[in-house]
Amino acid sequence: MALICVCSPKGGVGKTMLAANIAHGLQRAGRRVLAVDLDPQNALRLHFGLPLAEEAGFAAGMERQVDWRAELRRTACGVSLLPYGALDATARLSLTRAIEADPERLAAPLREAAADPGLTVVVDTAPGVSRALFAVLPLADIILVPLLADGGSVATLPEIESGRFFGRGTMGTIFASKMRFVLNQVDQGRRLSASVTAALMRHLGPRLLGLVAHDEAVAEALACEALLADHAPRSRAACDLAEIVAALDAALPAANGAQGMLAGVGR
């Protein structure tokens, strides 16, 4: 029904933090949510409290041509999770070759999930471009790009806005129209952060969905393998994320609770 793809040309900007916490927020807002990890770092699962030792996942299953539904995990907060899984370097390369040869291996399950009328899908991706990113982008209702409130992140904006990252053709124009930004790790007490924030607020206008403060509680929640709204519900960043979730919830098609073919997912 609705798909949000969290992506960025740059690493370490908060993609996984954002994907995990908006999936949780949208589920708390009454939606049925599936969180999908397309990043070989396999880190999304940690936000949902899956054991570190748990290695199963979507990618390893794809190698063995297992139905992706068999790899779904029901998390404690109610969000359904499709972890990437742990793959060694050789298996990763062989999977990349298999997807190059047959992109439908990856695109078909994502399309099936996105077609479920009552499901909201949140996808976390690896930094930069990948086959996986280009399989998911055409399905996205919202392409959510976190930026850090620093000079390095600002430098990636021309790459995004010129189409170098998402493509310059008609598809690139469509992707650009779906792009929304979140400014992460904002620290109003620091001169550079405050002036980058002010400049980006002016430049992005309504494409900026919200700001997330730099907040120790974010890293602490991850260290405890917990979601921020559970770990530190009154923290600055949790309040900021709640505002971003409300903006996303309003921008997405209404949750109608319709039962699709994945009716068990997220219930």
Nearest distance, CB of residue 235 and ligand ATP, angstroms: 9
Q: Give, as ranges, the residues between 8 and 67 that touch Mg ion (CB under 5 A).
A: 15-16
In the shown chain, the binding pattern of residues 116 to 135 toward ligand ATP, with x for contact by CB under 6 A and - for none, equals -----------x--------
Which of Mg ion, ligand ATP, none does residue 218 bind (CB under 5 to 8 Å by kind)?
Answer: ligand ATP
In the block, residue with structure tokens 């690493």: 11
Residue whose C-beta lies closest to Mg ion: 16
Taking CB under 6 A as the criterion, the residue among 4, 17, 22, 208 binding ligand ATP is 17
Q: Choose the stretch contacting ligand ATP; rule: CB under 6 A; options: 15-23, 50-58, 62-70, 105-113.
A: 15-23
Is there binding between residue 16 and ligand ATP (CB under 6 A)?
A: yes
> What is each CA distance from 154 to 6, 93, 163, 194, 243, in whole angstroms?
18, 32, 15, 13, 23
Nearest distance, CB of residue 253 and ligand ATP, angstroms: 26
Nearest to 239 by CA among 229, 230, 252: 229
Tally of CA atoms within 13 A in the half-sphere of 117 that contains its CB: 6
How is residue 234 written in tokens?
Answer: 């009154």
Q: Give, as ranges, the residues between 58 and 117 that touch Mg ion (CB under 5 A).
A: none
Residue type present at position 244: I
Q: CB 65: neighbour CB atoms within 10 A?
A: 8
Q: In the complex with Mg ion, which residue's Cβ is closer, 16 or 193?
A: 16
Q: Give every CB contact of residue 12 below 8 A, 6+ residues apart in sequence.
A: 127
Taking CB under 6 A as the criterion, the residue among 155, 198, 219, 251 binding ligand ATP is 219
Say if CB 38 and CB 125 are below 8 A apart.
yes
Q: Which residues bind Mg ion (CB under 5 A)?
A: 15-16
